[in-house]
Every structure is written in C-alpha cells, then in structure tokens.
Amino acid sequence: MKIPEKFHRLFETRTYGYLATVTPKGLIQNHPMLIFREGDKVKISTEKSRQKYRNLKADPRATLLVMDPENPYSYIEIRGKVESMEDDINNAFIDSLCPRYFGTDRYEKDPPGAKRVTVTIKPEKIFTFPPGA
Amino acid sequence: MKIPEKFHRLFETRTYGYLATVTPKGLIQNHPMLIFREGDKVKISTEKSRQKYRNLKADPRATLLVMDPENPYSYIEIRGKVESMEDDINNAFIDSLCPRYFGTDRYEKDPPGAKRVTVTIKPEKIFTFPPGA
C-alpha cells in the first residue's frame, strides 16, 4: 500500500495528522498528532499514560487523516493497523520531530518521568481526495 | 453536555471538523466535514451515496475533532451519537452553511441527483485541550 508521492510533502512540513482510534469501551477517539513517514508506513509518538496508548495496545486499528493546510479539498486518509510499539529510548524519535514542528532540538511538553513510545502504523487502505491523487 | 463557549467561534468561521466513524466492516473512517453548532449539539451534512452515511446508519458512534486553525494546541473533541438523520429538503441546511464556508448561497459540489441528509450528533463526552478550557 503506497502513500502517494503527491502527499509526501505533508509529512515534511508542520502538518498535524488526526488519529482516530477506538477506546476499550468502544468510544472513538480523534486527536491531533505529530506525524512521520518512513517509506509507506507512518510513525507517531505517544506516552504510556495516554488514552491513545491504551487504545492502540488493546485494538490496533488506527486511521490517520492528513489535510493539506492550504486546501481542505486535498487530503489523505490512511486506514491501518499498529505494526509495532517501541520504547522511545532517550526520546530519540520524538526529539527528531522537533526541528520540523517546533524549531527546537528537544521535546519539552512532557511532564517529568514521561515514557514515550513510538508507534509504527502499516496502511491497509488509503483514500485520497481528490480520488486517485 | 456543554460545548464550552470558548470553542463556539470555531463553529462560526471557516473551520472544518474531522469526523471519525466506524464502517460496517469495522474500519475507522476519518473525514473533514462542514460543521454547525445548534446549542450543545452538532449538525453535519452528508449524502446518501457516501460511506459516511452508511456508517452512521449502521453505527451511531461519531467523534468530531475541531482544531483552532491558529493553534494546534487548542482543540475540542466531541464524542457523541447520532440523534437524528433527516432529509435535507431543497438543500436548505447545506446551502445555509455556504455563505460561511464558501461565500456563496448554494452548495454546488454535489453531482446531479445527490440526496443530502442532515445528521444531528448529541455529545456524550467532550474533551478540550488545554483541559478544562
């Protein structure tokens, strides 16, 4: 499943993705996320105390919507599943996103003791608008 | 369940909401939507040939994320259920959103014969960021 090249630039700018997951009680959660593309997979960062982490541990379904910030009629929706969740040792992954999103070298929004996890999502269906873009 | 006043302005500007629903096959769909607030409920418009319509007919769960376009760390997430789905006679509802979103009087993005439906979503949980905003 390919992430079309046309949308690669959204993963290179300060664009947030909107990640929909399902809670253990069956509610749908939809939250903004920092996003990273590695080939045709998507990586996100979450923290072990977060609802999102509990959701993805219990239910691997994850759908990411990424909008072109300049055009609400250009977007990609990636429906996928968690392929792996790995401890983010020394915050290497989240820190690597900071120059792009915040113009800084380190992620400083977590409380002390936060335990970051890097989640890799493998797409199973990809929809774009306009279709076929 | 109250939609906090601080976020009302997002329903008065050209802000899209991101609506997450579940397909009959159990996949999560996440799509941008025009949004309208009526008191503490949210109204959206969809069309009878759309996946979103089939999803909401089969499963009333609907979660709407609305971001402050000027600040990605200010947003409201509304988890709710479909309260009603009504035929949009003469496109009265979708047309009423057009001055705000498109600066026009009529919605012209549908193919001929499209059948619009107005969906009212009743919030069951509301999360804001920052919390308590």
For A19-73, what is each residue's pLDDT tens digit? 999 999 999 999 999 999 999 999 999 999 999 999 999 999 999 999 998 898 9
Domain assignment present for residue B97? The answer is no
Q: Please say whether the beta carbons of B36 and B90 come within 8 A.
A: no
Q: Which residues of A are less than 8 Å from B62 in CB distance?
A: 28
Burial of A12 (0-12, 13-18, 19+ CB in 10 A): exposed
DSSP state of A40: T
Predicted pLDDT at A133 = 63
- Which of A26, A32, A77 is closest, CB to CB, to B67? A32
Q: Please say whether the beta carbons of A124 and A1 come within 8 A.
A: yes
Whether residues A30 and B21 touch (CB distance < 8 A) is answered with: no
Q: Which residues of chain B are modeled with pLDDT < 70?
A: 133
SS3 of A9, please?
A: helix
Q: Mind listing the pLDDT tens digit for each residue in B100-119?
A: 999 999 999 999 999 999 99
User: Min CA distance, B89 vs chain A (Å)?
Assistant: 25
DSSP assignments along B5-46, one per residue? GGGGGGGTTTPPEEEEEE-TTS-EEEEEE--EEETTEEEEEE
Q: Which residues of A are less than 8 Å from B79 in CB distance?
A: 27-29
Q: Mind listing the pLDDT tens digit for each residue in A90-121?
A: 999 999 999 999 999 999 999 999 999 999 99
Distance between CA atoms of B38 and B80, rounded to whole angstroms?
14
Whether residues A65 and B30 touch (CB distance < 8 A) is answered with: yes
Domains: count for chain A = 1
Beta strands in A49-114 (DSSP E): 61-68, 71-87
User: Min CA distance, A87 vs chain B (Å)?
Assistant: 24
Domain assignment present for residue B76? The answer is yes
Tell me which residue of A131, A23, A122 sits closest to B51, measured CA to CA: A131
Whether residues B64 and A18 touch (CB distance < 8 A) is answered with: no
Q: Give the strands of the sheet with B71-87, arranged side by side.
A: B28-33, B17-22, B61-68, B71-87, B116-129, B41-47, B36-38
Domain assignment present for residue B101? The answer is no
pTM of the model: 0.96
Domain containing residue A122? 5-129
Predicted pLDDT at B131 = 86
**Alpha carbon of A21 to those of A53, A110, A123, B74: distances in Å?**
10, 22, 14, 20
- Which of B30, B67, B75 is closest, CB to CB, to A20? B30
Domain assignment present for residue B125? The answer is yes
Q: Which residues of A are less than 8 Å from B124 in CB distance?
A: 27
Tokens of B29: 């769909």
DSSP assignments along B56-101, one per residue? HHH--EEEEEEEETTEEEEEEEEEEEEEEEEE-GGGHHHHHHHHHH
Predicted pLDDT at B132 = 77
Q: What is the ipTM of this complex?
A: 0.94
Please name the residue of chain B whose CA is at the shortest distance from the CA of residue A125: B27
Domain assignment present for residue B10? The answer is yes
Distance between CA atoms of A54 and B38, rounded to whole angstroms?
33
Tell me which residue of B92, B81, B96, B70 sits closest to B9, measured CA to CA: B70
Residue A107, domain CATH: 2.30.110.10
Distance between CA atoms of B71 and A47, rounded to whole angstroms?
21
Tell me which residue of B30, B36, B79, B38 sits closest to B55, measured CA to CA: B30
Q: Chains A and B: how many Cβ contacts under 8 Å?
A: 71
Whether residues A61 and B21 touch (CB distance < 8 A) is answered with: no
Predicted pLDDT at A132 = 77
Q: Give the strands of the sheet with A41-47, arranged side by side.
A: A28-33, A17-22, A61-68, A71-87, A116-129, A41-47, A36-38
Q: Please say whether the beta carbons of A37 and A120 come within 8 A.
A: no
